[in-house]
Amino acid sequence: MRILLVEDDSDLQRLLKKSLVDAGYVVDAASDGEEGHFLGDTEPYDAVILDLGLPKMDGVRVLEKWRHDGRSMPVLILTARDRWSDKVAGFDAGADDYLAKPFHTEELLARVRALLRRAAGLATSEIDVGPLKIDTRASRVIVDGNPVKLTSLEYRLLSYLAHHKGKVVSRTELVEHLYDQDFDRDSNTIEVFVGRLRKKLGINVIQTVRGLGYCLDDPNAQDEDRAKA
């Protein structure tokens, strides 16, 4: 999952970026409203953490422009402003959640997980796909009750497919959401990581849809559908 962090406090930005990366997210960071608006308007993000008191362009204005232009990614407002009127302004501009400074990093991470979960239509932090269970809170993967050890990128790939389970995800979309803007992106590497994932999981949950991409689905459900056909 790819996150945009727009925060002008360099120390806080560095701390939050490290925490988000440690939690398994890909993070692009911006230090002012103009840069943040540009990135959010031109790059595909799964969620945005947006400070209100930004130089060059206020966070509320950034959010208003995104929503006006049809950008629908979930946005968590992060700000030192704690007046109810500021909260109302943020929500009216299109925010999905609000967190006032100071805060605990674990709470921010929990709110980000909740935003991603709601955007995917999921009710809990655990995603079940047949014998496969993904605990997004602990970044843990279990198959038939046994833990599976994955690399950071393998987990990000599986988690993205899980948040879109049952849907076909193109290689291009995976590349856009698994790497930050400075990474030398190559869609061919996705095939390599999918192959590794299939071998480590040992179950047939990642389907290749020729010419379109990949789909994560319950193998038992696939068998039932074929039987009905």
Look at phi and psi of residue 211 and say left if phi exceeds 0, alpha if psi is from -120 to 50, else beta.
left
The pLDDT tens digits for 130-153 are 999 999 988 899 999 999 999 988
Strands 75-79 vs 97-100: parallel, antiparallel or unpaired = parallel
The pLDDT tens digits for 87-130 are 888 899 999 999 988 899 999 999 999 999 999 888 888 999 99
State which CATH number among 3.40.718.10, 1.20.1090.10, 2.60.40.10, 1.10.10.10 fits the domain covering 126-228.
1.10.10.10
pTM of the full structure? 0.84
Give burial (CB, 10 Å; 0-12/13-18/19+) of 204: middle
Superfamily of domain 2-119: Response regulator (3.40.50.2300)
Sorted by where each begins, the domain ranges of the chain are 2-119, 126-228
Among the listed residues 44, 40, 50, 38, the one whose alpha carbon sits nearest the alpha carbon of residue 5: 50
H or E stretch covering 147 = strand 146-148
Both tokens of residue 190?
A: 């996705």
